Structure 1
Amino acid sequence: MEPIDLNRRLIMLTSMLSAFAPELAQASPIDANETFVLSREQIKYEPWAAGPPHSGEMAPLYGDVNKPGLYLVMMKWNPGWFSAPHTYATHRIQVVVSGTWWVNSGPDFAPHEAVPVPAGGFVKRAARTPHYDGVPGHVKEPVVVAVFGMGPVDLQLSDPGKPAWRQA
């Protein structure tokens, strides 16, 4: 076999392998000005400023919930904590990324009546309608929820005389 035939066969084999195993092909670097990528490990969660210690964390990914415009945040709820019934000025859409989130509507706090929404589930909150959500204490793992909406959210408690966070 001549060396030239071997080179041709290697080129053909490499081309065929890259078609069947794209992860072997080399990609050009991504221009962060055009496509920004943040891996799950790079997302920085910080404790909720207004929440009790160990109740949950938030990672702002785009925009600001308190300023006009679109926002996207990741919220991590720890077991044993629910928000008190509250409303927002604008609609919010949410997707459960991991775990199970428990949600309910109305101004009366009844966490035992909350509906479980497992990973992959979708929740839409209509503007200025009372609701609450969280993770019951018997659950072992936190839930992570991606929250998208238009700011400012203008959170209003249904009963400002009661705590904004409740253990359940």
Structure 2
Amino acid sequence: MTDMVQRRDLLSASVLMAAASLPSRGADAAGADPAMTQVVQADAIPWRQLYNFPPGTAEQATLHGGLHEPGQYFVLIRWHPGYMSAPHSYETDRLCIVLSGTWWVASGTDFAPGATVPVEAGGFVRRVAGTPHYDGVKKHADGPAILAISGIGPIHFSLVDPHRPGWREV
């Protein structure tokens, strides 16, 4: 054998023996320690009626932070068919991913559901701070759309027409 092969084998054997003598950490490595990994199963998601929306239109589940607290937030929104938000804006960007269903989105101050653009599951939407927009699920959809939304709070929601409700039936 060459000197290089002998040195490699000796080094490999030394590393293997050292690793075998380390205490086992199997018990610490298994599972999800809630101090390190928080898990919320689908059936435990805390869905609540979306603020000021009638029952059966839209629900929200706050999974991290809070919309009215400083810092990052992460929420789920479930829009039911036949309902959309009224034109509104936020002071900070919102990053949205459609998890299921089809979400219909548009920009601008005029509410025109026929001008909305469909975003399918897996699609991404960035709502740019300070720009008016509206969205929801059209009446003849097969089911609700579920969105994951993240941003920096606290949010400041402004309706284009504050004299009308924040939702529309379509």
Under TM normalisation by the shorter chain, which class is it?
0.7 to 0.9
Structure 1 stretches of at least 4 aligned residues deviating more than 4 Å after TM superposition: none
Cα distance per residue 1:97-145 (max 9 Å; x no partner): 0000000000000011100000000000000100000001111200000
Structure 2: which 5+ residue stretches go unaligned?
Answer: 1-26
The residue aligned with 2:141 is 139
Deviation at residue 42 of structure 1 after TM alignment: 1.9
Normalising by the residue count of structure 2, what TM-score does the alignment of the two structures yield?
0.81
Q: Is the 8 A contact 1:99 1:142 kept in 2?
A: yes
Work out whether 1:126 is the aligned partner of 2:134: no
Paired residue for 2:51? 49
Any residues of structure 2 matched to 1:84-163 within 5 Å, and which? 84-163=86-165
1:160 partner SS: coil
1:31 aligns with 2:33: yes
CA distance in 2, matches of 1:153, 1:60: 13
- 1:58-69 alignment runs, 5 A limit: 58-69=60-71
For residues 64 and 55 of structure 1, what CA distance do their matches in structure 2 show?
21
Equivalent-residue separation in structure 2 for 1:112 and 1:152 (angstroms): 32
Q: RMSD in angstroms over aligned alpha carbons?
A: 1.3
Distance in 1 separating the partners of 2:31 and 2:161: 52
Counterpart residue identity of residue 52, structure 2: A
Q: Which amino acid in 1 is paired with 2:144?
A: P
1:120 aligned partner, one-letter code: G
Q: CA deviation at 1:163?
A: 2.1
Task: Give me the whole-angstrom Cα distance separating, in 1, the residues matched to 2:54 and 2:107.
Answer: 22
Q: TM-score, normalised by structure 1?
A: 0.82
Q: Quick check: 1:89–1:152 contact (8 Å CA) kept in 2?
A: no
Cα drift, residue 161 of structure 1: 2.0
How many residue pairs get aligned? The number is: 143
Consecutive unaligned residues of structure 1, counting only runs of 5 or more, are 1-25
* Residue of structure 2 in register with 1:22 after alignment: none
**Aligned partners of 1:91 and 1:150 also within 8 Å:** yes
The higher radius of gyration belongs to 2
CA shift for structure 1 position 41: 2.0
2:82 corresponds in structure 1 to: 80
